[in-house]
Amino acid sequence: MSFSTGLSSSSRDVNWLAVLLSGLAALLGLRLVALYVNGTDLFFDEAQYWAWSEEPALGYFSKPPLIAWVIGAATTACGAGEACVRLPSPLLHTATALAVFWLGRRLYDARIGALAALAFATLPGVSLSAGLISTDVPLLLCWALALVGFAALIETDKVWPALLLGAAFGAGLNAKYAMAWFLLCAGAYIFMTPERRAVLRDWRLYLALAIGALMIVPNLAWNYAHSFATFAHTADNANWGGSLLHPNKALEFFAAQFGVFGPILFGAFLVIAWRARRERLPDPDRLLLSFSVPLIAIILVQAFLSRAHANWAAPAYIAASVLVVATMVREGAWGWLKASFALHAVVLLLLIVGTATAGRLQLPLQPDPFARTLGWREVAEATRAELAQAAAAGKPFAAVLSDDRALTAELLYYLRDEPTPILAWRQGAPHDHFELTRPFTASTPAPVLLVRSDEGPGSAAASFASVNRIAAKVLPAGQNAQRHVTFYSLAGYKGQ
């Protein structure tokens, strides 16, 4: 049984691949320019991933290692500036769009593949993601390639789909453990499609699984050596320790999907999923529903039980992009599709203009939407000034101490040329990678410069005999936001 679409294609008349490549090249060029003119500082997660990339490892406290390796490759080739740290994002999103084309062409035709790829590349969530670096960026590429491999595996008797599926699945696990949801989606498809259950007896499927498993073994070994830190952090993210009824969080997550996927496309997706209850869908549609609906439903339940970030269901929109475009083309809903492209183009331009002018224009919005990514450079420069002043007075600080992961990450990035070591305050078991790898210890010489992002010396002060507040500053974080920072000199460590 092979995939059949029932669509009449105009691929003979139009070179859809050329159309796609032209569109993606224009998008990539625009996004590279946007990186160059971006006025935001690195978000603290981005700064953290950069810090990881400076210490190559097989694992990190909160994530598998692929994000650090990707950033390390980019900064080695390009430099350590913000644009270079974020450079992999538009490049990998472009590659993901090509994988979406491959998927759409295999399931339907070149026209569907090209339109779906352009739809994916211009999704609001992708446009936002292309201006920063996160673990979702490599995850989406791996998910798309794995889905191509799975679709080819169940349709052909060749070996290459198993190799592609296994390699993409293993790489995806090294990007983010959310790649494991791929197995659940594949199981949902096989359950709904009895004629495809022969794949469970296909040795190529188990070859793919073996390849994926072997690729994650080094990270598992790292976790074993570090008390399974990443797994514990992932479990903490689920946050099932408190009350387990949060309908408002579920509603927030559901509403956010209209922003991630776009209001027209997500609305169409909901209609398609609703109609699927009563209609016998073509096999390609059923495959794509299986790799989108279960994932969104699971994260929606997670949001109801505890919390969920809007991006947690992002892999679902690989399949959903192809499904919605294929359905719109099949039903002649060209007006809706064109309106969606136009709306997403406006969002793209607004994001580019917004990041280019971030911190430079007085915005009517309160608070400033870019405030969380502004002011960090100023905090680092204020810290550098305190270090220089102490050195000039003949009483240099031996280390900079921080008790906040975000602040530690930002100081590491923006003081990357500063010889004074930056350490993390740790009480008990480590709560982040910096507490794991660069904690303050009794052997650290005195005095140390404690940098805090709020008033008061915090819990660290109780462990020192000498605690002197030396400065408190209010720094700009854009035109209508501020960042507070307080400096203390600590000496005479007494132990915790």
* Cα 435 to Cα 234: distance, rounded to the nearest angstrom: 17
- Does residue 91 share a domain with residue 190? yes
Relative to beta strand 422-424, strand 399-402 is: parallel
Instruction: Count up the domains in the chain and report the number.
Output: 2
Q: Which of 293, 322, 356 is the last residue of a domain?
A: 356
Rg of the chain over CA atoms, in angstroms? 25
For residues 150 and 318, the answer to whether their CB atoms sit within 8 Å is no
Tell me whether residue 380 is in a domain: yes
Q: Which of 305, 327, 356 is the last residue of a domain?
A: 356
- Does residue 304 share a domain with residue 180? yes
Q: Given this model, what pLDDT does residue 331 score?
A: 95
- Does residue 379 share a domain with residue 338? no
| Domain of residue 451, residue span | 373-493
Tokens matching residue 400? 């900079």
- Does residue 285 share a domain with residue 173? yes
Tell me whether residue 2 is in a domain: no
- Does residue 379 share a domain with residue 352? no
Residue pLDDT, tens place only, 235-259: 666 555 556 677 899 999 999 999 9
Whole-number Cα distances in Å, 365 to 45, 311, 478, 480: 24, 24, 12, 9
CB atoms within 10 A of CB 73: 13
- Does residue 379 share a domain with residue 277? no
pTM metric for this prediction: 0.93
Q: Given this model, what pLDDT does residue 454 score?
A: 83
User: Which residues share a beta bridge with 493?
Assistant: 464
Tell me whether residue 5 is in a domain: no
Relative to beta strand 482-493, strand 448-452 is: antiparallel
Tell me whether residue 249 is in a domain: yes
Tell me whether residue 352 is in a domain: yes
- Does residue 189 share a domain with residue 144? yes
Residue appearing with tokens 């008790």: 403
Tell me whether residue 447 is in a domain: yes
- Does residue 381 share a domain with residue 298? no
Q: Given this model, what pLDDT does residue 11 score?
A: 46
Q: Which of 310, 331, 356 is the last residue of a domain?
A: 356
- Does residue 419 share a domain with residue 328? no
pLDDT along the chain (496 residues), means of 10: 49 77 97 96 97 96 96 97 98 98 96 97 97 97 98 96 98 97 97 93 97 97 89 66 74 95 97 91 95 96 88 96 97 97 97 88 68 92 97 96 96 97 93 94 95 88 94 86 92 90
Q: Go through the chain and tell me how many residues it has.
A: 496
- Does residue 310 share a domain with residue 393? no
